[in-house]
Structure 1
Amino acid sequence: MTAPEAPVQRFATDGIKPMGRPSLVTRIFMAVVACAERLNVRLSRVGNPPIYDKAVFPWATAVEADYPAIRAELERVLTRQDDLPGFHEISSDVATISQDRGWKTFLLAGYGFKSDANIALCPQTWAACQKIPGLITVMFSILEPGKHLPPHRGPYNGVLRLHLGLIVPEPREALGIRVENELYRWKDGEAVIFDDAFEHEAWNRTPHTRVVLFVDFRKPLRFPANVLNWLLLNLAVFTPFIREGMDNQKAWEKRFYAEAEALRNR
C-alpha cells in the first residue's frame, strides 16, 4: 500500500478574505506557495504519511535520550505555570482553535527569533534540539486539564513536527492526538513525528496537565523543492503574523522576567 499523500496546504493568510482583489505581490506569493507545496509532496525524501516511523529520523533517539534533562528544566519553568501565556496571546492566528489559557506555551525559538532569556533557563533543552536538522521552532506546549484543540491543519506542508512527551498524566486513554486517521497517545520520554499539514486534533481529558516538547523542522526534500522550501521558510519571518508573534513574545518576556526580578528583591 502506498503512503497517503500529504494534503496541499496554504499559509494562514489564505483564510483571510480581502476587501478587494488581492494585490499582484500577494497573488504571486500565493502562486509560489502553491507550487512549493506540490513539489514538497512529490519530492519528499521521507514520504508523506500522517505519522512517521521514528526510524526514518535517526536523531530522534538522541533527543529521547535527553528526556531527563529536558524534564528537569521544564519543572523549573512550571514553578510559574500560571504566568505562562496562552498560545493565542503570542500567536494570534491560533485564536481560530483556542481562545483561552488552557493551551499555554514557553517559547525558546521560532522562525529566526530566539529568546535568549528562555534559552538561558533551559540550556540543555536547547542543546538537545540542536541535534535536529532544519530546526525552526522549539517550545514547551502545555495542555491544561480538559483542554481540547479541535480539528485543524497547519499552514504549510514544508515542515514536520516532533512532540517529545514530558509530562503525560494517567489515564493515557484520556488524552491523545489524532493526525488524519491515525491516533497517537503521548508517552513520557517518547518522541512522535508527524505532518501537521494533515488535519489533526489533540485533547487532554485527564485532571492533570500534559506537557510536550514541541519542535518544528524543515521537511527533508529533494532538489529543487528543498531550495524553494528553505527560501519560503526564511521569508516567513517577514510576514505580519510572524512579526506580530515576535512582538507579543518580547512584551510577555519583559513582564515575566521583570516580575521574577521583583520577587527576588522582596
Structure 2
Amino acid sequence: MYQPPRQRGVAPDPQHAEHYVRPRQKPLVRIGKRLRDPVNRFLAGQSLIGDTPVIDARLIPGLNEVAREWSAMRDEIIPLMREREIIPPLGKISPDHRRIASSPAWKSFFFQGYGYHAADNQARCPLIADAISRIPGVVVAFLSIMEPGTHVPRHRGLTKSWLNCHLPLMLPKDGKRCEIAVDGTTHQWREGEWFVFDETYPHEVWNMSDEPRVMLLLQVQRDMKLPGRIATRMLYHAIRRSSFVGDVKNAVGA
C-alpha cells in the first residue's frame, strides 16, 4: 500500500484535536456490507463502461461541458472559503463516515443527495447548483474541502452503481503533497479536469500541503444494462430511506 507523505512543513491546526467516533453500525448496514462483494460482482457484469478503477470522464454525460465553467465556479466559492470555519465537517453530520472522517479537517458543503436538496446552500452557489442540474444521474453533490494535514485512510465504498467524480476548484501549489491513490496507483488532480473512479476499489486521499484543497464531488449513476439499472434503482431507494441519508439530510436542512 502506498504511504502518503508525512506532515513535514504542515502547521498543526488546533481544530484537528476534535475527534468524532463512529457509533455502532445498525444491523441493516452490517448486512449490506456483507452482501456488498457478491452484489458488486453482478453489477460489474452489467456495466456498459467497463470495470476499471479509473474511468475516462468523457464516458460520463455532461461532465466535460460543465468542466469548461470551472473557473467561474472557483470564483463563486471564494467568499465561502473566507468563512469556511462554519462549514460542517463530514464526520460531524454523517456519523457513518467517522472511520475515515474523524476530525474537522474534512469539511462538506452539501448541495443534494438521494433526491433531497439543501436549498440554502444551492442559493449560496447558484452557478454550481445549475451546473450540477445539467449532469444526468447525479446521486450526491457537495463541495469537499480538505484542510492542510488531512489524511483519509484507505477504504472501499459501497457500490458500483455510481461513480465518484471529482472536479478540482482549488488545489495546493504543491500538488505532489495533495493526491489520491486508487487501487495502489497514485494520481494528482488538475484544476478544471474531472477525475472519475470506482469507489469500490481501495483508495485513500491526503493533503499534506499547507493550503486547503477544494473540489466539487459528485456521485453519478453508472451506465448499465437493464438488470443493473433495476438493481441500482432498488439500492437507491433503500439507501434514501436509511439513517445514513437521514443523518445528513437533517444536519444540512434538506
TM-score calculated relative to the size of structure 2: 0.84
Q: CA–CA distance in 1 between the matches of 2:119 and 2:149?
A: 32
- Matched residue, 2:235: 232
What residue is the counterpart of 2:68 in the other structure? 65
Q: CA shift at 1:249, angstroms?
A: 2.0
Structure 1 residue 218: deviation in Å?
A: 0.9
Per-residue Cα deviation, 1:48-68 (whole angstroms, up to 9, x for no partner): 111112232352211210102
Equivalent of residue 220 in structure 1, options 208, 220, 223: 223
Residue 194 of structure 1, aligned match among 192, 197, 215: 197
Matched residue, 1:162: 165
Corresponding residue number in structure 1 for 2:180: 177
Q: Within 1, Cα distance between the matches of 2:75 and 2:113? A: 22
RMSD, aligned α-carbons:
2.2
Which structure has the highest helix share of the two?
1
Matches within 5 A, 1:92-131: 92-131=95-134
1:42, 1:228 → 2: CA distance?
Answer: 12
* Percentage of identical aligned residues: 27
Deviation digits for residues 202-223 of structure 1 (CA, Å, limit 9, x no counterpart): 0011001011100001111101
1:51 touches 1:194 (CA, 8 Å); kept in 2?
A: yes
Query: For residues 149 and 78 of structure 1, do their structure 2 counterparts lie closer, same or farther at Cα, with a shift above 3 Å needed?
Result: same
Whichever residue aligns with residue 114 of structure 1, its letter is H
Aligned residue among 207, 211, 224 for 1:208:
211
What is the deviation of 1:30? Answer: 7.5
Q: Does 1:42 pair with 2:52?
A: no
Judge conservation of contact 1:36–1:229 (CA < 8 Å) in 2: no
* 1:234 Cα deviation after fit: 2.3
Cα deviation for residue 190 of structure 1 reads 1.2
Q: Write out per-residue CA displacement over residues 32-60 of structure 1, whole angstroms, 9 at most, x where no aligned residue.
A: 86664232111101001111122323522
2:225 aligns to what SS in structure 1? coil
Cα distance in structure 2, aligned partners of 1:153 and 1:30: 11
Which protein is bigger by CA-based radius of gyration? 1
Gap change, CA 1:58 and 1:217, over 3 Å in 2: closer
Amino acid paired to 2:243: P
Determine if contact 1:36/1:225 at 8 Å carries over to the other structure.
Answer: no
Q: Give the Å deviation of 1:120.
A: 0.8
Out of 74, 81, 85, the position equivalent to 2:84 is 81
Q: Distance in 2 between matches of 1:215 and 1:221?
A: 18
Match of 1:136 among 116, 135, 139: 139
Matches within 5 A, 1:18-57: 36-57=39-60
Change (3 A) 1:157 1:185: same
